Structure 1
């Protein structure tokens, strides 16, 4: 939540071997000793792929894993991200808790769980399965902490991510074509387009802030066009003593507030949830929406609308950067007695077969696609793939800023609600967020 620079390309061609198993391709790996007996072995997996398209991918991958491991049963528990954040830490302390779970990156989730000694370091398994040939070090750093959970981006690997993510702008191709609107090339053109769409009686940006977290993306998408990759990296990793209370962040808050006051968002957006706003957009209510590539698969099914995707364009004469990275990783409960089987499951989640299924579902895989996958790219998926490759190639992959402190997510949600509700100014917003950030930096000195 997914996520958020100087990334080297993720899509490194890997040579994982595939074998046929009941007609399904699975990576070669040691047979699990705890799944080979006549007694069924249950592997409990918590994931947050709850939307229809992504859930189908998980069901397919789980079924094929079970086929390749006779006697193994995947007990899948599906959560929303918010529910996962609330319930997972306690569940990992239980002896019958999930063996494998998706753990959101950042200090408030993965960092806190590492600090509580709840997650198994994956360094040995990474070496065993060659994950270093699939993911760059700058990618694995996003799933890494020192053993005490205090230093983000260094130390042990605690998760592997099956998907890549980039936050940008989805647009309704039919609405654009009907009015002769073009994809803007600069931020100035983008803001002019917002005014033009509003004047035409159409909602410029489909948006609902009820769930809180997507308001962070709305703000940070603008922020990423105003700050440098070095700044956003320092902010998230908590190094070099940067501050949130800077003119660039105040400017981003001013722009966001102006969009709200100008009526560019869905009417009544404060009472609309993320999924509901997406359903409105999917039904043709709104010209654009700003969110991540994870939504693409949902926009190509059960709709008569056609959608495209582009990066929020840079200010004229300036370089571009976008929120991005890898998706929420799978991790292993430290106290599980099925660690080897769980590691095999993680390896399957980042296999070429998994990459193929995610791509066919319209979602960006974090690993390279098989050469014979035959994935069409002249479509919405192709748009998101081009956007990802653009920021990845240009070292312009930013961060999900709520990772920065254990309480940053809650602070950002609360302060953005105040800002958009007219209860604070942009300067007061950045000052309040900085108070949280400074307190955390002081606590880890």
Structure 2
């Protein structure tokens, strides 16, 4: 509503994906910034994997030919772990997926819930997506996210994801009473030392680094062929911007090398930093892990992106899954209906 009024801002940070920036581009509410991107060289700074969420076609589907936004950072999901709790309970830090489940079993045997979780927001359905990705391939992701093939949300990969997550709830890997918790609740619980692990975004990194009073580290989901991640939120310029040159000048500042270097050392994932300028060891590892995923075309975006209003559907259906109010097949069937209804006509 604001973008379609005389009060549109000159520049705005906005979420990326078909359901958000893509929808606005389709509605004609964002400036096509293709000429500015090429003139200022931002296209040379962003890897192809990151460019996907910046460019949209006439249907508002990401991966198109027109630039409607530019990210100055990137993001992905990883496992944060409390080294002190692992040592206290004599649990081995996992290197393989089998190690991962063995570690969770070991914590459960000692009366410790291994993973913090938020059923009322994104964490829970991101578990389902990651577990599905473990059985999927790149064409599967492209079909689901970009409609290159017809997506079947009840196929073996999705079934594995939903069934395994429901099983994890039963086994106590995540607390059943986390069904009503928000991401903030889950993150604070991990940072206060109540849980050995948190599977969530790199956006927590700086805060964990500042807040956690225990020894901690991170690892990419064990043996992941792909994991949720992408370029970060986009700088977009509304069609109604009254100072477009200043808006583009502002975006350009955030892409400067010294700004990017500062971002990297502060716990973000810069898109155009000098690797040698990143001095913090944990930040260096964070960025290196992202770069490896990006180079291997292993960033799988996020499960709520493909269609408008999909996020709320994922939340409600994953809550039903955690509460045992539907079988995995029934839950996925409802998600499929929402997906099909939201596809661009």
The two structures share one fold, judged by TM-score above 0.5: yes
Task: Give the CA deviation at 1:267.
Answer: 6.0
Q: Per-residue CA shift, 1:130-158, capped at 9, x if unaligned?
A: 01110133422212112x34433102111
Query: Which of the numbers 113, 117, 123 marks the counterpart of 2:34?
Result: 123
Flag the structure with higher helix content.
2
Distance 1:365 1:310 in 2: 19
Q: Name the residue aligned to 1:110.
A: 21
Structure 1's consecutive aligned runs of 4 or more residues displaced over 6 angstroms after TM superposition are none
Equivalence map 1:230-241=2 (5 Å) = 230-241=139-150
Distance 1:276 1:143 in 2: 31
1:142 aligns with 2:53: yes
Distance 1:114 1:187 in 2: 40
Change (3 A) 1:382 1:374: closer
Aligned length: 345
Query: Which of the numbers 149, 165, 173 marks the counterpart of 1:264?
Result: 173
Helix, strand or coil at the partner of 1:403:
coil
**Contact 2:264 2:273 (8 Å CA) reproduced:** no
Task: Give the CA deviation at 1:297.
Answer: 0.4
Query: Which of the numbers 252, 261, 265 marks the counterpart of 1:356?
Result: 261
Query: Which of the numbers 390, 393, 397 marks the counterpart of 2:295?
Result: 393
Q: Name the residue aligned to 1:409.
A: 311
1:333 aligns with 2:238: yes
Distance 1:352 1:370 in 2: 11
Question: Which consecutive unaligned segments of at least 5 residues does structure 2 have?
Answer: none
Distance 2:275 2:7 in 1: 37
Change (3 A) 1:150 1:330: closer
Equivalence map 1:24-103=2 (5 Å) = 90-103=1-14
Query: Which has more radius of gyration?
Result: 1
Query: Which of the numbers 188, 195, 202 marks the counterpart of 1:279?
Result: 188
Helix, strand or coil at the partner of 1:401:
coil
Q: Name the residue aligned to 2:274.
A: 369
1:172 aligns with 2:95: no
TM-score (norm 1): 0.74
Change (3 A) 1:181 1:130: same
Q: Name the residue aligned to 1:214.
A: 123
**Contact 2:12 2:235 (8 Å CA) reproduced:** yes
Q: Per-residue CA shift, 1:313-365, capped at 9, x if unaligned?
A: 13xxxx62111111111101111110010001111122212212221211211
Distance 1:440 1:239 in 2: 15
Distance 2:102 2:95 in 1: 11
1:343 aligns with 2:248: yes
1:251 aligns with 2:160: yes
Helix, strand or coil at the partner of 1:330:
strand
Q: Greater shift after overlay, 400-409 or 386-395? A: 386-395
Question: Which consecutive unaligned segments of at least 5 residues does structure 1 have?
Answer: 1-89
**Contact 2:124 2:318 (8 Å CA) reproduced:** yes
Q: Name the residue aligned to 1:308.
A: 217
Distance 1:272 1:137 in 2: 36
TM-score (norm 2): 0.94
1:421 aligns with 2:331: no
Alpha-carbon RMSD: 1.8
